[in-house]
Amino acid sequence: MVSTDTYDVAVIGYGPTGATAANLLGQFGLKVIVVERDPDIYGRARAISTDEEVMRVWQSVGLAERLQQDMLPDLPLNFVDAAGVPFIDLKITSRGCGHPPQQFLYQPAVDRVLREGVQRFANVEVLLEHECLRLLSTGDDVELLCADLGTDTFKRLRARYVIAADGGASPTRGQLGIGYSGRTYGERWVVIDTKVLQEWDGYDRLRFHCNPARPMVDCPTPLGHHRWEFPARAGEDEQKLLLEEEIWKVLGVQGITPEHVKILRAVIYSHHVRVADRWRVGRVFLAGDAAHAMPPWIGQGMSSGVRDVANLCWKLAAVLNGLAPEGLLDSYQLERKPHVTETTRRARMVGRVITERNRAIAVVRNHAMRALTRVPLARSASQRRMWVPEARYAEGFFSESRHRAVGWQVPQPWITAGDGTSIRLDDLLGGDWAILHTGQLPPGADDWMELGIPAHRISDPGLVRWLRSRKATTVVLRPDGFIYAAAGSGKSLPAPPDGYSAAVRNEVAA
């Protein structure tokens, strides 16, 4: 038995959620240990897309530009009928986060960049081929008993807090006795990952083939890859469907032959709609698939996990460094769960559009959607209701004034810095608390500035319009870019919360 020092945070699981957490915590200067069972990056591409808000999280740890090199931005999205004719044809429109609104990705490449990012931080240690066998709360910290799978030895670790990002089957969640309620769909889906050898018409767009006889997803992924997904029909032998000769029969219906792609792998899986009963037990937090699972239809499984840790990690840093009371951590589930619930609802709704098996209903769907999407306002409204929910938290760690701007994540325009260069807003703010205003600072701003919070006058027309649409001329931003407090013209800014010191990143880094 080997004992080691106590860490600030232990992260269990080293997929995109765990690796993002390790980057965030490492940048905050915390002492972190990552425990991962597998010896290397998981080879199968699971997640295939992300969005501008997640890219903004990765921007905060300095990895967005590198990740962007291996992504495909802004490709068209089609819902097509049984004849392959689109009845919805669109591109996802931006919400002003400073990145392309939708990105297709190859997950092993994303995992590699995120792990390379972690290597920048001497304060983050990674244990590959280690499995966490047991957690034991000991008052002020958590004891982890970990098995070294390479040497058949054990390590006993201690951490002030634990983030369990160990997947939908989460052993940590099981150890804690947390329920994972919801359902698993009976229909099983075959996933085929391929390497593109020769391009074909439509290879560069995401297509949902809404064919009652056999629904299918047809999706480009970067670095010369392409994916198809389709359900096993009643009575079909699932294992037989994974054979190459059977795969070619299905792809052949789309006109795809061995001249077009090389089959890399085929697996079969089930869709889940589940959520953990609790996301926190004492000093242990669940994140990503360990906390929630959703169908893949709007590509938000991985992205929701990244959002989880972006919400949680700055709060952990503030508490660990004595800048906030521990009660701040209670806002994690309160803020994130409603957003995950709504995202899951929308994923299920889109799934119903894609997988409708009643031919008569499908015909009505096709005609109605074609007519609807010919009207620009109706097309944009349907996207707002079908795709990823806007970045807003209705409850949580926010001013009790409940100004209409409170709880929204502020957009991120490109702005001109003091030296005349053009930078994104978040890069100017540096991941700390900040005051943004469009003119004179209101009464009450001095109370915030005495905590060391800088004030920035904003002249970007788009951001000014966005603030005015919410009746705000001054806002106080949390480190994650969400508006804690706001004031309109001639109104006072609410006071800072008692017991909090606002600076997070600068004081930790110092």
Segment 164-175, tens digit of pLDDT: 999 999 999 999
- The total of other beta-carbon atoms located within 10 Å of residue 245's CB is 7
Q: φ and ψ at 88, to 5 degrees? A: -135, 125
Q: φ and ψ at 37, to 5 degrees? A: -70, -40
Mean pLDDT score of the chain, rounded to an integer? Answer: 92
pLDDT score, position 378? 74
- Whose tokens are 């589930």? That residue is 333
pLDDT score, position 509? 38
Instruction: Examine the pLDDT at 377 and tell me if it is beyond 70.
Output: yes
Lowest-confidence pick of 88-92, 122-126, 317-321: 88-92
Distance separating alpha carbons of residues 435 and 421, to the nearest angstrom: 21
Question: pLDDT by residue (tens digit) across 347-359?
Answer: 999 999 999 999 9
Q: Is 359 exposed, middle or buried (0-12, 13-18, 19+ CB in 10 A)?
A: exposed
Instruction: Examine the pLDDT at 325 and tell me if it is beyond 80.
Output: yes
Question: pLDDT by residue (tens digit) across 211-225?
Answer: 999 999 999 999 999
Distance separating alpha carbons of residues 474 and 399, to the nearest angstrom: 14
Instruction: Examine the pLDDT at 101 and tell me if it is beyond 90.
Output: yes
Instruction: Examine the pLDDT at 505 and tell me if it is beyond 60.
Output: no
Percent of the chain with pLDDT over 90: 77
pLDDT average, residue stretch 232-240: 86
Angle between helices 359-373 and 376-386 (to 10 degrees): 120
pLDDT average, residue stretch 193-218: 93
Contacts of 359 (CB under 8 A, 6+ apart): 212
Lowest-confidence pick of 88-92, 327-331, 357-361: 88-92
Nearest to 211 by CA among 237, 233, 192, 239: 233
Percent of the chain with pLDDT over 70: 97
Contacts of 215 (CB under 8 A, 6+ apart): 208, 209, 230, 231, 354, 355
Nearest to 274 by CA among 349, 178, 358, 375: 178
- The total of other beta-carbon atoms located within 10 Å of residue 371's CB is 11
CB 135 within 8 A of CB 74: no
pLDDT score, position 410? 97
Instruction: Examine the pLDDT at 142 and tell me if it is beyond 80.
Output: yes
Task: Categorize the per-residue pLDDT at 283 as very low, low, confident or very high, splitting at 50, 70 and 90.
Answer: very high
Nearest to 267 by CA among 301, 303, 228: 228
pLDDT score, position 45? 62
pLDDT score, position 131? 96
Q: 204 is written with which tokens?
A: 């560069």
- Whose tokens are 């990952």? That residue is 193
Instruction: Examine the pLDDT at 4 and tell me if it is beyond 70.
Output: no
CB 155 within 8 A of CB 130: yes
Question: pLDDT by residue (tens digit) across 13-30?
Answer: 999 999 999 999 999 999
pLDDT average, residue stretch 134-151: 93
Q: How is the beta sheet containing 455-457 ordered, strand by strand?
A: 455-457, 434-437, 474-477, 483-487
Strand partners, 193: 227, 265
Instruction: Examine the pLDDT at 257 and tell me if it is beyond 90.
Output: yes
Task: Categorize the per-residue pLDDT at 498 as very low, low, confident or very high, splitting at 50, 70 and 90.
Answer: confident
Contacts of 311 (CB under 8 A, 6+ apart): 332, 335, 336, 480
Nearest to 54 by CA among 303, 301, 296, 298: 303
Instruction: Examine the pLDDT at 455 and tell me if it is beyond 70.
Output: yes
Supply the DSSP string of 199-243, one letter for each residue: --TTTTSEEEE--TTS-EEEEEETTTEEEEEEEPPTT--HHHHTS
Task: Categorize the per-residue pLDDT at 506 as very low, low, confident or very high, splitting at 50, 70 and 90.
Answer: very low
pLDDT score, position 502? 64
Instruction: Examine the pLDDT at 89 and tell me if it is beyond 60.
Output: yes
Q: Report the predicted TM-score, pTM, of the whole model to 2 decimal places.
A: 0.94
Instruction: Examine the pLDDT at 510 and tell me if it is beyond 70.
Output: no
